[in-house]
Each structure stands twice: as C-alpha cells, then as structure tokens.
Amino acid sequence: MNDEIKESFEKTKIAGSIAAGALDEVSKIIKPGISTNKIDKICYEFINDNQAYSAPLYYRGFPKSCCTSTNHIVCHGIPSEKKILRDGDIVNVDVTAVKDGWHGDTSRTFKVGEVSIRAQKLVDTTYEAMMKAIKIVKDGVHLGDIGNLIQNHVEAQGFSVVQDFCGHGIGQAFHKEPNVLHYGEKGTGEKIKTGMIFTIEPMINAGNYETRVLNDGWTAVTKDKNLSAQFEHTIGVTKDGYEIFTKSKNIEKIL
C-alpha cells in the first residue's frame, strides 16, 4: 500500500470511529418513549465533542445531524420531537462524521423493546447480508459479486432488496463513485481495487422492494408500508481483503 492510501485509510478510520462511537452512545438510550430528536441530539453532541462535524447537517438542505428511519421508513428519516419510539418499533440510525476532511458513514438498525419475530428476522438478515458481502471484498472482486451475494442471502429469506438507493464511494467527498448496488449478477460491474473506500449499506424490505419519497423531499418509505431495515459500514479494499473503518470499539454484539 502506498503512502497516499495509508493516509486515506488512517483518516477514514478516525472519522469512522467517531461515527461508530455516536451509534454506541445512541444504543444506550434507545427505549420506548424517547423521541428521534433525542437520538439526533446525542449524535450531534458526540460528534462535536470529538472535534468533528456531521456531514448530513445542512447537506442539500437536510436539517439534522443523523437520519432516523423507523419501521416502514427505508432511509433518510428526519429526526423530530414529535416522533416518539414505541415498544416493538425498529429504527435505523445513520451517522456520518467528518474529521480532518475525511468521512466515515455507518448505520445500525436498533430494536425498541420487544419486537416481532418477523422484525427480528428482517434485522438479522440485513446485518448478515452486509457482513457476508464485506467478507468477500478484496482487490479484483466485481461490484456485481457484492450485490449478488446480498440479493441471494436476502431473497432466500423471502425479503427484497431496495433498488432506489445504493452504497457509494466515500473519502474527502460524502458521496462519490462508484455506486455500490446491493443486487446484481456475479462477474458484472467494475472490479474493485486496493485503496478504494466505499460503503456497503443494504436496505432490505420485508415485502416488496419498491419505495417512494414523502412530500418532505427526504423520507423514503416502502410503497407497501411493510418494514425495512438497514446496516452500513465504510470499508477499504486491500490486496487480500478489507478493513472496516466504522467498527464499534465497545460493542461486540450488534444484533
């Protein structure tokens, strides 16, 4: 690995650890009765306390420091004082920290109180699909191999892969090439190379894959109002594998 790649990996890891740390803080306060605005506040403060800033805040007019996507919200849910978490909800919290110009982007889906067996299975399957895909990453793998693996894993459980949103290259920009689709055919698409940094962030629906965006211009929901879950890591490609930059330092058990 050349010095340029080494530096980009080190810097992304610092930003990624801050984003993961924010989610660790959020995990401590998730319970029925809290508002999604409370989650936003925790993220905002944690990121600021670490001398970083939140990439979503004011990004294309987005008003908050993280996205909070409950139940049938697929992604880009806007935190609000009015949205109170209830027992049985699932909520994805998506955080992107910027430190020293470099971005770290990660999300987890949390369970609020006791959730249904179906919701549990959806969350587990989504996490497994992301981790399975990460584990095949190395120099020379096709992007289509990643998408195909996620799609196969998810569809085997009777769930569907969202097609309207994808993973993305990341670095000194929040979103850059390539698009990382979470479905596709083996052996297709660009070959990934040592030094590339991108996210894998499958959004998985319990019902149909189709989504639509609400009138606020942000909140994406499932058309059929069934549940949707998501996890996201920012990773770097090496000759023989990968490095995850958004791992939790404190929490072993994500699910």
Q: Which residues bind Co ion (CB under 5 A)?
A: 94, 105, 199, 201, 232
Q: CB 239 → ligand MF3: shortest distance, Å?
A: 27
Return the residue of 96, 125, 234, 246 that touches ligand MF3, per CB under 6 A.
96
Q: By C-beta, is 89 or 232 nearer to Co ion?
A: 232
Give the C-alpha distances (Å, rounded to integers) separating 101 from 72, 139, 172.
33, 25, 6
Tell which positions 137-196 bind ligand MF3, by CB under 6 A.
none
Non-local (6+) Cβ contacts of 235 within 8 A are 134, 137, 197, 198, 199, 200, 242, 243, 244, 245
The site partner of 25 among ligand MF3, Co ion, none (C-beta below 5 to 8 Å per kind) is none
Cβ atoms of 73 and 199 closer than 8 Å: no
Q: CB 127 → ligand MF3: shortest distance, Å?
A: 16
Q: CB 116 → ligand MF3: shortest distance, Å?
A: 26
Return the residue of 25, 40, 89, 94 that touches ligand MF3, per CB under 6 A.
94
Q: By C-beta, is 218 or 242 nearer to ligand MF3?
A: 218
CA angle 118, 25, 134 (to 5 degrees): 55
CA angle 25, 127, 56 (to 5 degrees): 50
Q: Residues 54-73 vs ligand MF3: string with x where CB under 6 A?
A: --x--x--x----x------
Q: CB 74 → ligand MF3: shortest distance, Å?
A: 12
Taken in order 189, 238, 55, 162, is the CA torsion positive or negative? positive
Q: Give me the numbers of helices (H) and strands (E) for the chain, helices first please.
A: 4, 15
Tell which positions 28-57 bind ligand MF3, by CB under 6 A.
56
Q: By C-beta, is 60 or 82 nearer to Co ion?
A: 60
Count Cβ atoms below 10 Å from residue 170 Cβ, excluding itself.
25
Q: Which two tokens stand for residue 199?
A: 């996210």
The site partner of 40 among ligand MF3, Co ion, none (C-beta below 5 to 8 Å per kind) is none
Cβ atoms of 54 and 65 closer than 8 Å: yes
Q: Which bin fits 15, alpha (ψ -120 to 50), beta or left (φ > 0)?
A: alpha
Please tell me the count of residues contacting ligand MF3 according to CB under 6 A: 11
Q: Which residue, chain included where needed, has tokens 């190379």?
A: 193
Q: Which residue, chain included where needed, has tokens 């790649």?
A: 5
Q: By C-beta, is 25 or 232 nearer to ligand MF3?
A: 232
The site partner of 59 among ligand MF3, Co ion, none (C-beta below 5 to 8 Å per kind) is ligand MF3
The site partner of 62 among Co ion, ligand MF3, none (C-beta below 5 to 8 Å per kind) is ligand MF3
- Kindly state whether residue 232 participates in binding ligand MF3, applying the rule CB under 6 A: yes
Note the residues at the interface with ligand MF3 (CB under 6 A): 56, 59, 62, 67, 76, 94, 96, 105, 201, 218, 232
